[in-house]
Every structure is written in structure tokens, then in C-alpha cells.
Amino acid sequence: MEVPDIQNQTLAEIQLKLYNKAKRNPQKRFRKLKKLLLKDEILYTAWKNLNKNTKGTGFDSLTVQQVEASGVDKFIRVVKKELEDGKYIADAVKRVEIPKRNGETRQLGILTLRDRLVQGAVKLVLEPIFEADFENCSYGYRAYRSAKLASLEVYKWLEAGNTHYLKGDIEGCFDNIPHDKLMKIIKTRIGDELILSLVESWLKKGSFGSGSGKNSNKGLLQGGIISPLLVNFYLDQFDNHWAEIGLKNVEGESIEHLVRFADDFVVLSKEWIKPERAETIMAELGLELNREKTYVGAAANGFEFVGFYFQEILDENGLGNRINVLPTDGSIEKIIESIESIDIEFKGKKNKFDSENEYQALNIVIKNIYNVVDPWVNYYRHTDYASGLERIEQCFNKKIQDFI
């Protein structure tokens, strides 16, 4: 049987109702969410939201394609019945090491398809409730928000003269969020026993050290569908607390402006900023700042944030200024590496084309390069990206010449 065409408006109505209730009453605890979680609108949308192209599988070795072949309806009915009867138990998590650009690795967890479905469903229920509490300064892992919008917010405050900054990064944020404190803050909003038990079970399964067999009682699974939402909900305390511990002047106006993207943040002010304030808040949350990536400075010296480079440019007399926003060198180098890899991959195939088809082969190379460059240009279109684009064009031209 084919997956029913779920009416998005129905799901939107469910989520909007939850959001409005949470917004109107900041102290409200939602105790009856199980019925919503079991709705077809929720479960089938969670299924549709699954990444169908995920190559890795959990310990069940089950893929989306296999379930589609055997019957999505049957799969969802079985999971729904387990949730209804209280027999659902989170599966073990498969852990893999993913190489990072700096040569190090990071550990990701791969959930079973069953757990991915249920986590996606719980996320659909919790997201509108939590979203009602989130501050405007938070941009990561949220609908209709992005690093690009965060960069515009930073630019706005810099243009307004807030050219002193504290650039901060949380040490191992996903790995160090304490479960007891996280559950305590979740329970201020959620009173449904099924939802709470599901979240607790995922926390326990996700926090086992690699091969240790011991629960560390802290950390969120990197690779978990619900993990980014929980990170944001926990760090919302940081956003709130930042405005509540006296960082306003006597008129009540904010004198320091926070912009946060997940565990990466910047505070902007017209005055020099003391990092001890952020350290104190983090300590209360059971977290620490990454000292190597946390520093204070003036925008005239420039700083990076969420893939953008910001710098205040003074005129010759030191009287006027303007704010430059540029793509980071890292983003430019990544595009250049991608162009080079496309060319290298194609060189091995070039001999397969005879002389009559070389023009066609060249067009394919150019098309592949534009598929890499065009998204970069669109992403950085609001910045002063000309110098970066010039470097990319030089690489582009050289590779085309080499091919010819």
C-alpha cells in the first residue's frame, strides 16, 4: 500500500495550536501529548522527513528502501502499536568515526530506522512547544533560520556601532550536556510520561562511551534526529540568562547583544566585554567554554562566525568606518578543493571520449564545476565576495586549460 498523502495543513494546525498554547502560557506543562504522537499526521510526516539517501544503517541493518518494498503502512502500524502498549524500547546505537578536515575524527551514532521514525515524530510534537520559548538571538537548528540570517544579525549590530566582540565556543557541547539538568528543564514544559520516558531512554542509549558499556549520564547523540532540538532547548537558558544577570544599562536597554548558532556564539557591544560573564553562565549549565576558540577583541581586527568573516574598515583619518562581510578563507578553499576533485575524477574518464565528443566532455566538466560554484555564490551573495570569487575563477580557468 502507498503512503497516504498527509494533509500538511492538518499537521500545521496541530503544531500551531501547540505553539499558541505554549506562547500564551510560559508556565504551562503539556501532559497529554501521547494522543498527538500517535496521530497518522505525525507518524507519516516523520517517515516522509527521514533522509532517504542515508547510506549507513543501525544495528537492524534496515533501510528505507527495504521498508518501502515490504510496506510502509505495516512498519508504522507495528511501531505505533508498541508506543500505544508501552512496549517500545529504544535500540542500541551503532557508533562510527567520521574524519574531520583537521585530521581528527568525531563520533556519530547511527539509529535504527525504528528509532529514527519515533525520534522524528517526537520532534514534530516538541518543536512548536519549545519554539515558543526560544529567543530571537538563536539561529541554529531552527525552521526558517540559518547561518546566513545570523550573519545579517551580526552585521546589523556591528553597523550600529557595537564593534567590541566576545567570540565564544562551547567545549564539546553535544558530549557534555548533563542529563539530569536537561531533563529538569524539559519537565518545566513537558509532563507527558511517554514523551519523557522516550527522551530519557534515548539519552541513556546515546551516552554510552565507545565500548565502555557505562552510562556517563551526560551528552547527546551526534546523529540523533532530536539531538539538535534538545541542544537548543538546553542552551535557551544561556540566551535567557544572558539578558537577566544585569547586562542592561540603567534605562533598561540592552548594551550587549548575543547572536548564537548552536554552540557557537558572538556577543557584540560598544564597550569592552568581559568573558567571565559567559563563563559563569556556562558553569551553571555544567558546561565550559573552549578556551582556544573563545576570545575578545575589536572588529577592526576581524573575526569569523558561522562561515563569515567580519571586519570594521576605518578610513584614512580614522573618523568614518564601514563593516566588511566576507566569505572565510576556509569556505573558499573548500570550493577550490571541490573543483580540483571534480577535475581529477574526470581525467580518468577523459580518454573514453573520442575527439568527436571532446566538446561534449568539456561541457560536462564545466557543468559539474558550476554545480559546485553556483550554490557558493548564492550563499555569499550578500557579502563582499569578489576577491574570493576571483580565486575560485583562477582555479576554474586553470582546470579548464588543463583539461583542454
Domain presence at residue 205: no
Which residue, chain included where needed, has cell 567580519?
310
β-bridge pairing 308-314 and 303-305: antiparallel
Give the SS3 label for residue 170.
strand
Let me know: does 207 contact 215? Beta carbons within 8 Å.
yes
Within-domain flag for 207: no
Domain stop point among 86, 110, 133: 133
Looking at residue 357, what DSSP letter applies?
G
pLDDT of residue 250: 45
DSSP class of residue 226 equals S
Give the chain's domain count.
2
Q: pLDDT for 32-70, tens place per residue?
A: 999 999 999 999 999 999 987 777 888 999 999 999 999
List the beta strands (DSSP E) in 233-356: 256-261, 264-269, 295-298, 303-305, 308-314, 321-327
The answer to whether residue 28 is domain-embedded is: yes
HSE-up (13 A, CA, CB side) for residue 29: 12
**In this structure, what C-alpha cell is assigned to residue 360?**
561534449
Could you say which residues of the chain have pLDDT below 70? 1-9, 101-102, 207-215, 242-254, 318-320, 343-357
pTM, to two decimals: 0.87
Cβ neighbours, 10 Å, residue 4: 11
CA-based nearest residue to 117, from 46, 200, 196, 42:
46
Q: Which helix (H) or strand (E) holds 395?
A: helix 386-403
Question: Looking at residue 251, what is its pLDDT?
Answer: 52
Q: Return the pLDDT at 211.
A: 42
Residue 177 in any domain: the answer is no
- Segment (H or E) for 322: strand 321-327
| CA proximity to 136, closest of 227, 239, 278, 234 | 239
Q: Is residue 225 part of a domain?
A: no
Rounded-to-5 percentages of helix, strand, coil across the chain: 50, 15, 35
End-to-end CA distance of the chain: 52
Q: Specify the pLDDT at position 84.
A: 95
Distance CA(311)–CA(323), nearest Å, equals 6
Q: Does residue 361 sit within a domain?
A: yes
Last residue of a domain, one of 93, 116, 133: 133
Question: What secondary structure, in 3-state letters, does 271-300 show?
Answer: CCCCCHHHHHHHHHCCCCECCCCCEEEEHH
Residue 379 lies in a domain: yes
Residues contacting residue 371 through CB under 8 Å, at least 6 positions apart: none
- Give which of 112, 64, 107, 69 is closest to 91, Cα–Cα: 112
Residue 203 belongs to some domain of the structure: no
Which domain, by its residues, includes 108?
A: 11-133
Cell of 184: 529538569
Name the domain boundary from 133, 149, 166.
133
Pairing assessment for the beta strands 94-99 and 256-261 based on DSSP bridges: unpaired
